[in-house]
Chain A
Amino acid sequence: MLKSSLGLITLSSLLLSGTVFAQEKIKVGVTATLEGTYTVLGEDGIRGFQTALNVLGKKVGDKELEFVIASTDATPDSAVRAVRKLIEQDKVQILLSPLSGDEGIAVKNFAKTHPELTFINAASGAQETTYVDPAPNFFRYNMDGAQWQVGLGKYAYEEKKYRKIATVGEDYSFIYTQVFGLVLEFCGAGGQVTNRQWVPLGTKDFASVIAALPDDVDAIYLGLGGADAVNFLNQYQQAGGKAHLMGGSIMIDQTILSSKGNAKNALVGTLAASGQADTWENPSWQRFVKDYQDAFPPNKRFPSPSLLATNYYGSTMALILALRQVNGDLSNNQTKYKEALAKIELDAPNGKIKLDSNRQAIGTNFVTEVVDDGKGALFSKVVNVIPNVNQTLGYDPAVFAKIGLPSRTVPECKKY
């Protein structure tokens, strides 16, 4: 009798301490593309996220952050499945998700079905995610694909004297957004985009696409990422391609610039634009690069963080700093936390970031050129820095709305 009641007491005290213990934790769900074409991008995103935890720590007041990581493959349904699993099985309260463009649109729509939770975009960059019917509980601290191309079209037209270009891109929302930003600016300056080719995400054999590239253009713009970009470059080299190249934000990125093999050498001198530049002199960027390098052994990371690492770092920073501002208070459907997130101004490694009324980042953009550091490693070198880039790219919102949403054929090549 005594024995059994003792056992009962021990058991109940165990259970009690368990519940007390659980209250001290804040659960955060993280997704990254750890499968498929964008595996390398997802892995480096997670490295950026871990660097942020190393720097900022996991404590918020007397509470401890607990993270659950789920894998996706860049398709919208895989992202929603991962987020649903994190919410329903792991009972997370805050989400840091997702990585890729189409995923972002799907997760934003899904966020509306859980208005009580908070969604912080990890790295996705499709315009539609925050521009069309934004979710009140979805916050994006990185710029979208079009913002990341600001400065590129003008520089190509004015400095490089390119007049006619053609584009090749993966057939999904993020690349539509990137080409949107490029075409608006390049055609606005007076250039011509003669041909836009779209290939499915995960294309392996680009030989026919390469053969169909036009000869009569000054440069070819590549909007590819991950395995697709590597395959394209490899086959481009085999086909003896010699055209001037321009690159999108995940094409001219450490994920590609430090891939194995020598096909990447075709990229030396390539003009690109992105939310970061590898060789930026700014001290907070240099500190971030060092934190990243110190956090992982050289063979488990890139020589310098990729755009994905930077985005995950910035998003994690916003997540933790805003949570500290409200001292971990997630009561009343996380209202206070959401207010803090909307107002917070980040001193991110890649420049100051604040949110607009759609909870979309306004930040700094970089035009870069790929250089060889003399030891065979490729880096993107800054040629131009453009601060305060907003989602309407400096256009009047009414004019911007008339251009239409990024797609295979929008925008038209003309001055708006």
Chain B
Amino acid sequence: MTRFVERHPAWALVVMIVIAVALWLIFAVWPQGLEDAVGRKRVFLNALFNGITLGGLYFLVASGFTLIFGLMRNVNLAHGSLYLFGGYVGYAISASTGSWVLSFIIAFILTALVGVLLQVLVFRRMEGQDLRQTMVTIGLSIVFADLMLWACGGDFYQIQTPNWLIGPVELPLVTAIKSSGEPVYLRYPLVRLVIFAASVVIGVAMWLALNRTRIGMIIRAGVDDRDILAATGVRIQLVFVVVFALGAGLAGIAGVVGGTFQSLSPGEDIRFLLASLVVVIVGGMGSIPGAALGALIIGLAEQLGSVYIPTYAIVVTFLIMVLVLAIRPQGLLARR
């Protein structure tokens, strides 16, 4: 941090001003002139929070994707199918048992199992052949999509939000002052806050596991140099299986999350594959903090875009990707 300030004093100033403006926009009561120019504060705050919570969902999907890529150099284009599969499993569990929490656990376990099968039966046979693996995953994603269409049909599925999560809560952020002088607080869907908190917890846990534990050390070593790691006697195949299971399981959890606050239907697999590709390209392939930053940027861009420039909202995400590719092709937080 201090090094950055010393090296780029001008940039540091710009960043500080941006942060200050953002904080002011969030906490201050907007003057009338500003409300007239850009709309009500409630809309802005909602879009901001929605962007951050949507970023949480994107992070869940993309972190598994980037973890698998980081260690195995395997661009798993069937990752979206794992997301959708997890969602359908979650729906089945929550519909039959009525337990939302249980649906996360079962979805994680089953998608992780599918991940293990993929790694053991398919990818181990073509290790180191990046192109072949990529092509096979495209094929698999098509097969999975059709199988799921066959089993679940084209209907929309929604996972039932548990009763204690339905409805909004009031946050201690003032959006406006009534004429009587009474402040109006921001009301925000509780379920999105919980989901965001959960993704932060998962993100932090992953970071700790990677940076503070022995298995994390092995994985990081594997990312840097697989062959040397294998030569030191680590059972690298086992590490691969564990990482693939974890990455797939995360996609499964994300499926349950997506099925809860959006919906599940054929085509969602491709949409989330695309989203996680964009996220990891922006953040940097193989980097967990990169996935977090990328997810946040893309989520915010989508939501703020849909409110302030609705016509071009779809383009904004891809513009960001193009910009990043032009200026910093390895991604914002990638290690060289």
Contacts and interface: CB of A to CB of B under 8 A. Distances in A.
Interface of A: 34-37, 39-40, 42-43, 171, 197-200, 203-205, 207-212, 226-227, 230-231, 234-235, 237-240, 259-263
B265 interface: yes
Q: Which of A200, A204, A240 has the most CB of B within 10 A?
A: A204
Contacts of B192: 207, 238
6 contacts: A37-B267, A205-B54, A205-B262, A235-B261, A238-B167, A259-B155
B189 A240 contact: yes
Contact of B307 (A36, A212, A226): A212
Interface string B139-183: 000000000000001111111110000111000000000000000
Q: Determine the interface band of chain B, counting residues with CB < 8 A from chain A.
A: 35 or more
Interface string B259-284: 00111011100010000000000000
B155 A35 contact: no
Contacts of B157: 260-261
Given A230-B263, A262-B160, A211 B167 contact: no
Contacts of B66: none
Contacts of B267: 35-37, 39
A272 to B, nearest CB: 19
Given A200-B314, A238-B167, A40 B54 contact: no
Contacts of A35: 266-267
Contacts of A226: 156
A205 B168 contact: no
A130 to B, nearest CB: 27
B50 A205 contact: yes
B187 interface: yes
B306 A234 contact: no
Interface in B95-122: 95
B166 A259 contact: no
A199 B310 contact: yes
Contacts, number: 115
B158 A263 contact: yes
Contacts of A263: 158
Given A208-B47, A209-B306, A238-B191, 4 more contacts: A39-B266, A208-B51, A239-B188, A261-B158
Nearest to A261: B158
Nearest to A41: B154
Interface string B289-322: 0000000000000111011001101100000000
Nearest to A37: B267
Given A212-B307, A260-B157, A205 B265 contact: no
Nearest to A214: B40
B218 interface: no
Contacts of B188: 239
Among B271, B304, B310, find the residue whose CB has the most chain A CB atoms closer than 10 A: B310
A240 B167 contact: yes
B43 interface: yes
B42 A39 contact: no
B168 A231 contact: no
Given A227-B263, A237-B166, A259 B156 contact: yes
Given A197-B310, A259-B156, A208 B187 contact: no
Contacts of B261: 234-235, 238
A40 B156 contact: yes
B330 interface: no
Contacts of A235: 189, 261-262
Contact of B155 (A40, A208, A240): A40
A199 B161 CA distance: 25
Find the residue from A36, A198, A209 having the highest chain B CB count within 10 A: A209
Contacts of B42: 211
A231 B306 CA distance: 15
A43 B168 contact: no
The 6 A-B pairs at the shortest CB distance, nearest first, are namely A211-B46, A261-B158, A39-B154, A238-B189, A207-B50, A240-B168
A231 B154 contact: no
Contacts of A261: 157-160
Contacts of A43: 153-154
Contacts of A199: 306, 310
A205 B303 contact: yes
B167 A204 contact: no
A313 B255 CA distance: 37
Most B-side CB within 10 Å, residue of A36, A204, A211? A211
Contact of A227 (B156, B167, B189): B156
A259 B158 contact: yes
B158 A230 contact: yes
Nearest to B156: A230
Contacts of B306: 199, 203, 205, 208-209
B83 to A, nearest CB: 13
A240 B310 contact: no
A210 B157 CA distance: 21
A208 B303 contact: yes
